[in-house]
Amino acid sequence: MAPTAVSETPEKSTFQHQSRGRWLDQWEPDNEEFWEKGGKQTAKKNLIFSVFAENLGFSVWVIWGSIVTAMGAAGFGFLEGLGQGNPVAVSNALLLTSTPTLVGAALRIPYTFAVPRFGGRAFTMFSAAMLLLPTLGIAYFINQPSTPMWVFVLLAALAGVGGGNFSSSMANINFFFPEGKKGAALGINAAGGNLGVAQTQLFVPLIITLGTHILAKDAAGYRFGITLAVLMWIPLILFSFYGAWRYMDSISGAKSDGKSYKLALTNQHTWVMSVLYIGTFGSFIGFSFAFPTLLKANFPDLAGIGWMSMIGNLAFLGALVGSFSRPFGGFISDKVGGAKITLYVFVGMALSTLLIMAALAAKSFPLYLTAFLLLFVLTGIGNGSTYRMIPSIFSAEAKRRASEFGLDPADALISAKRMSGAAIGVIGAVGASGGWLVQQALRLSNINFGSMNPAFTAYAVVFLAMGAATWWYYLRSSFAVDRVPSLAYANV
């Protein structure tokens, strides 16, 4: 019997990295030997294809932000006069851009549940294939000039499937990396998705302009340009589907026990972090969707500058800087502490909104753009810092419970990972819904007051309140040090 026992031990502890996708029955990222002998390569491989799939999801999710600015010229009367600040056109445009935000937010919870149920590999394939519905739908109906607005609202809702991709992708990657590397990994994964917003806002206006030059600078030309701008994503979506099928893995141990979700829903930190994530990610995605419309409505003269109009009046820069700053938020939170960075971010965001109001009063486009870029940078950093706080909170509470009640620390850590994965879905959904709130505040402010200043004033007050909440729950010594010690230093 002894030889049998010896032969089984190496077989059980051996892990070999493979490029081909598979189910992983053994996955121990916190085991340093396991990590260095193939685990790290496998995790990075899955991160690469996860980033690509999530990037496309965001690209389709935000596509309406760029399309609506050209639909008036394409012959759709409900958006005519957008460039002249027509309140009805502005309201309709914000409705079309906010609808996918709300649907994407709602889908984030079931998308998180789906990863433990079906595996990260299979669900990445499914979520990629779903992107074909809104893209092909837009390509067809944009060439039907008599199409009523409600059809486009439905198509905008379908584009919301791209927003759900975020939670499934983040929940999946959360299982692949060790505790000390989650901040950077989740930051990179999220930044890859967020970057899809910037690339859409850069390339879609370019392709639309190219289409009008190929055909004609009339309604038919704009419809042709929009069609090209939508169909260009189809080959990438198909490649994403293939890449997930061919190369990604699913982790058997990532299965949900159902109890994790119930515990996450009844944990107050899930809801506190949801509110904070409304302020960071909700602001990022809400302003990203609305930024092209805001630029066109507030500074219509930019349309007369050919190259500015062609690249969407520089709207893509906001999402670009916000995307690149997100990994930095996760990285610095690993070193300094997520709660501290989040507090600084909210104070900075409040000041940025005051600068935006000053720019509108002075009718200064350079100051307006600078203030908005600063706001986007801060939202990106805040996205990274708040997401880094989530596993820290649940890990710290698990360690505290294990110490108080004499539980096995290893079992407590596994439970914490499952709870944080469940919480990510809830927090991501609530946070994304903040994007809808941001746009609706702008829409209602424009309709009822003829100005967006009341909305920006409200943003500043809310950001300061969220900063105060961050301090109250996670930085007061009576709580942060005694009850959740790892929030002061996220890498403890």
pLDDT at 313 over 70: no
Q: What is the average pLDDT across 18-29?
A: 84
pLDDT band at 431 (very low <50, low <70, confident <90, very high): confident
pLDDT at 4 over 80: no
Domains of the chain, CATH where assigned:
35-487 (1.20.1250.20)
pLDDT band at 258 (very low <50, low <70, confident <90, very high): low
Q: What is the average pLDDT across 366-374?
A: 92
pLDDT at 12 over 80: no
pLDDT band at 19 (very low <50, low <70, confident <90, very high): confident
- How many Cβ atoms sit within 10 Å of the Cβ of residue 411? 11
Q: Which residues are 24's β-sheet partners? A: 251
Share the mean pLDDT of the chain. Answer: 83
Question: CA–CA separation, 384 vs 455, rounded Å?
Answer: 25
pLDDT band at 222 (very low <50, low <70, confident <90, very high): very high
pLDDT band at 6 (very low <50, low <70, confident <90, very high): very low
Q: What is the average pLDDT across 432-441?
A: 88
pTM comes to: 0.78
Query: What confidence score (pLDDT) does residue 212 get?
Result: 86
DSSP state of 250: E
pLDDT at 197 over 60: yes
pLDDT band at 492 (very low <50, low <70, confident <90, very high): very low
Q: What is the average pLDDT across 4-18?
A: 55
CA 261 vs CA 267, 357, 360, 426, 433: distances in Å = 10, 42, 45, 9, 20
- How many Cβ atoms sit within 10 Å of the Cβ of residue 491? 15
**Collapsed DSSP state (helix, strand, coil) of residue 147:** coil
Question: Is 350 or 486 the better-scoring residue by pLDDT?
Answer: 350
Question: CA–CA separation, 142 vs 221, rounded Å?
Answer: 12
**Collapsed DSSP state (helix, strand, coil) of residue 232:** coil
Question: Is 467 or 77 the better-scoring residue by pLDDT?
Answer: 467
Model pLDDT for residues 442-457, shown as the tens digit of each residue: 888 888 887 888 999 9
Question: Any idea how long the chain is?
Answer: 492
pLDDT over 70, % of the chain: 87
Contact at 8 Å (CB) between 314 and 295?
yes
pLDDT at 481 over 70: no
Where do we find the tokens 């998705």? Answer: 193
Q: What are phi and psi of 450, to 5 degrees?
A: 65, 20
Most confident of 105-119, 379-393, 461-475: 461-475
**Collapsed DSSP state (helix, strand, coil) of residue 251:** strand
Question: CA–CA separation, 230 vs 67, rounded Å?
Answer: 9
Question: CA–CA separation, 73 vs 85, rounded Å?
Answer: 14
pLDDT at 257 over 50: yes
Q: What is the average pLDDT across 228-248?
A: 95
> Computed from CA positions of residues 251, 253, 257, 260, in that sequence, does the dihedral angle turn out positive or negative?
negative
Q: List, as one string, the DSSP characters of 4-31.
A: HHHHHHHHHH-----SS--EES---TTS
Contacts of 269 (CB under 8 A, 6+ apart): 393, 394, 397, 423, 473
pLDDT at 13 over 70: no
Query: What confidence score (pLDDT) does residue 278 get?
Result: 94
Out of 3-12, 23-32, 424-433, 466-475, least confident range: 3-12
Which is nearest to 464 in space by CA: 352, 350, 317? 350
Q: What are phi and psi of 250, to 5 degrees?
A: -120, 140
Model pLDDT for residues 111-165, shown as the tens digit of each residue: 877 888 888 899 999 999 999 999 999 999 999 989 999 999 999 999 999 988 8
pLDDT band at 366 (very low <50, low <70, confident <90, very high): confident
**CA within 13 Å, CB half, 46:** 31
Q: What is the average pLDDT across 157-182?
A: 86
